[in-house]
């Protein structure tokens, strides 16, 4: 059976399906891999196993309702996904968002980014065979999730944004709780370095593997930490600031390596930058309104609107065509994972099977965001 021709192509290469059910694809992604022994000759991603037609659904939802669906795209940065939808409506209506709402939005978005990177850190350890880092990272992630639970009402798919601001004001102990969470994170950060970053096996698994050049990163449309590790300045928070990011001091982390190790280092450093952003804001949350002046039934003016944000994985854009009604005429999401995925077949060629796992782990794919 193994030696029947359909398991081989003409050159005698071994064709293996990784996925749709596979422990390291983090979802239902199917990678068709052509192997020569252990070496990868070709990778072909097959999509669509979790396609839920979110873009089409959006066409029948009102501008208040369509925010919640986007939580289900990149479920790890659900808050930032909601933010982009709120922002595009505000941009179209030209509504001023109150300063208090902006500050809370940014704090929660950066907490989401930390929690998303923590999950990535956990799963990279898991993918490369070390189970223990998973639990260390989840301990801190749990603290962030509890904070979200208390203030937003849900741990993962918060849906805390409304066009013009946020749904509810945060609790009175919000500042103190955020500081507690940050302190726990900062106190335990050195453990991540000890268990994984410094580990020689881990470094050897990542260094020099899956090199994505700057030109390729641009050509494939990669964004986020994946592209920044190749030396591309693409942080939307710096380039097209939104929600008051222009007033904040933080560094855009870039690296020139382009390999898995550079991507790893960029993400680890980004967590620290997020902490820095939150620390600037947490003591200076302005008082005031939390929702801007929006009507109960929102009608967007006729036209086309585009807004982008920086999620934990890259640039998320939402493009809305409005015909002046209460629902979008057409909605298109430019998701970061879809573009980042397209780089995998290119950079995985010539590496070993184990390297494909490290490449997928460091690019940090969220499958529902690819298919939408």
Partner 1 sequence: MHTWLKNAIPNATGLLITEMVITGVILLVFLILLAFFLGYMERKVAAFMEIRLGPNRVGPKGTLQIVADTLKLLFKEGFTPDAADKFLFNLAPGIIITTALLAIAPVAFARDFQIWDINIGVLYISSVSSMAVIGILMAGWSSSNKYSLIGAMRSGAQIVSYELSIGLSLISIVILSGSLSLNDIVESQANGWWILKGHIPVVIAFVIFIIASTAEINRAPFDLVEADQELTGGFNTEYAGMKFAMFLMAEYINLFVVSAVAATIFLGGWMPFHLGNLTGFNHIMDFIPSSIWFFGKTFFIIFIIMQFRWTFPRLRIDQLLNLEWKYLLPISMVNVLLATLMAIMGWHF
Partner 2 sequence: MFIKEYFGGIFKAIKSLLTGMKLTGYYFTHLNKIVTEEYPDNRATLKMPERFRGEVIMPHDENNEHTCTGCQACELACPNGTIKIITKQEVQADGKKKKRIDAFVYHLDMCTMCNLCIDACPSDAIIMGQNFEHSQYERKYMKKVLNKPGSRLKDGVE
Q: Applying CB under 8 A, which residues contact partner 2?
A: 61-62, 64-66, 68-69, 132, 139, 142, 146, 149-154, 157, 159, 162, 167-168, 171, 191, 194-196, 198-201
Q: Is 212 left (phi over 0), alpha (psi -120 to 50) or beta?
A: beta
Chosen from partner 1, partner 2, none, partner binding at 129 (C-beta under 5 to 8 Å by type): partner 1
Return the residue matching tokens 């609790």: 171
* Distance of closest approach, residue 282 Cβ to partner 2, in angstroms: 20
Residue of 10, 94, 131, 297 interacting with partner 1 (CB under 8 A)? 131
Least distance from partner 2 to the Cβ atom of residue 49, Å: 21
CB contact at 8 A, 340 and 47: no
φ, ψ (nearest 5 deg) of residue 108? -65, -35
What is the rounded radius of gyration, in angstroms, for the C-alpha atoms of the chain? 21
Q: Using CA atoms, how far apart are residues 112 and 313, in angstroms rounded to an integer?
A: 12
Q: Which is nearer to partner 1, 205 or 308 (CB)?
A: 205
Q: Report the 10 Å Cβ neighbour count for 341.
A: 22
Name the nearest CA neighbour of 247 among 290, 277, 282.
277
Confirm or reject binding of residue 146 to partner 1 (CB under 8 A).
no
Please give the structure tokens belonging to residue 29. 């992604």
Closer of 86 and 253 to partner 2 (Cβ): 86
Interface region with partner 1, contact rule CB under 8 A, candidates 106-114, 198-206, 227-235, 239-247: 198-206
Interacting partner of 65 out of partner 1, partner 2, none (Cβ under 5 to 8 A depending on kind): partner 2
Running DSSP on this structure, what letter comes out for residue 38? Answer: T
Region of 346 (left: φ > 0; alpha: ψ -120 to 50; beta: rest) is alpha
Is position 2 an interface residue for partner 1 (rule: CB under 8 A)?
A: yes
Applying CB under 8 A, which of residues 97, 126, 268, 309 lies at the interface with partner 1?
A: 126
Q: Which stretch binds partner 1 (CB under 8 A): 95-103, 192-200, 270-278, 335-343?
A: 192-200
Q: Is-contact 362 124, C-beta < 8 A?
A: yes
Task: State the Cα–Cα distance between residues 111 and 107, nearest whole angstrom.
Answer: 6
**Residues forming a β-bridge with 43:** 33
Q: Of partner 1, partner 2, none, which one sits near residue 316, judging by CB under 5 to 8 A according to partner kind?
A: none
Residue 271: CB minimum distance to partner 1, A: 20
| Contacts to partner 1 by CB under 8 A | 1-2, 7, 14, 16, 22-24, 35, 37-38, 125-132, 134-136, 139, 195-196, 199, 201-202, 204-205, 352-355, 357
């Amino acid at each position: 059976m193994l030696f029947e021709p359909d398991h081989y192509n003409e050159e005698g290469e071994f064709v293996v399906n990784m996925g749709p059910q596979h422990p390291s694809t983090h979802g239902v992604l199917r990678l068709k891999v052509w192997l020569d022994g252990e070496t990868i000759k070709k990778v072909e991603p097959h999509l669509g196993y979790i396609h839920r037609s979110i873009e089409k659904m959006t066409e029948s939802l009102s501008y208040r309702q369509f925010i919640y669906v986007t939580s289900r795209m990149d479920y790890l940065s659900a808050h930032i996904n909601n933010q982009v939808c709120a922002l595009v409506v505000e941009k179209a209506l030209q509504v001023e968002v109150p300063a208090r709402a902006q500050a809370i939005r940014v704090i929660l978005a950066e907490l989401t980014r930390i929690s998303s990177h923590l999950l990535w850190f956990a799963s990279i350890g898991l993918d490369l065979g070390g189970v223990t880092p998973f639990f260390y990272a989840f301990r801190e992630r749990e603290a962030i999730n509890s904070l979200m639970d208390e203030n937003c009402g849900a741990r993962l798919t918060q849906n805390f944004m409304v066009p013009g601001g946020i749904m509810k004001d945060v609790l009175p102990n919000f500042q103190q709780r955020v500081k507690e969470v940050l302190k726990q994170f900062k106190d335990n950060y050195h453990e991540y370095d000890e268990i994984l970053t410094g580990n020689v096996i881990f470094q050897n698994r990542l260094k020099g593997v899956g090199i994505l050049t700057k030109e390729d990163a641009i050509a494939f449309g990669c964004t986020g930490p994946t592209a920044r590790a190749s030396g591309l300045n693409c942080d939307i928070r710096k380039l097209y600031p939104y929600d008051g990011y222009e007033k904040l001091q933080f560094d855009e982390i870039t690296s020139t390596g382009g390999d898995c190790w550079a991507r790893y280092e960029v993400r680890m450093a980004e967590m620290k930058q997020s902490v820095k952003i939150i620390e600037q804001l947490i003591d200076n949350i302005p008082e005031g309104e939390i929702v801007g002046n929006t009507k109960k039934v929102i009608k967007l003016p006729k036209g086309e609107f585009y807004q982008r944000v920086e999620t934990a994985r890259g640039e998320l854009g939402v493009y809305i065509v409005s015909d002046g009604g209460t629902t979008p005429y057409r909605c298109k999401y430019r998701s970061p994972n879809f573009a980042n995925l397209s780089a995998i077949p290119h950079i995985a060629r010539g590496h070993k099977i184990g390297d494909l796992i490290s490449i997928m782990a460091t690019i940090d794919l969220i499958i529902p965001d690819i298919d939408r």
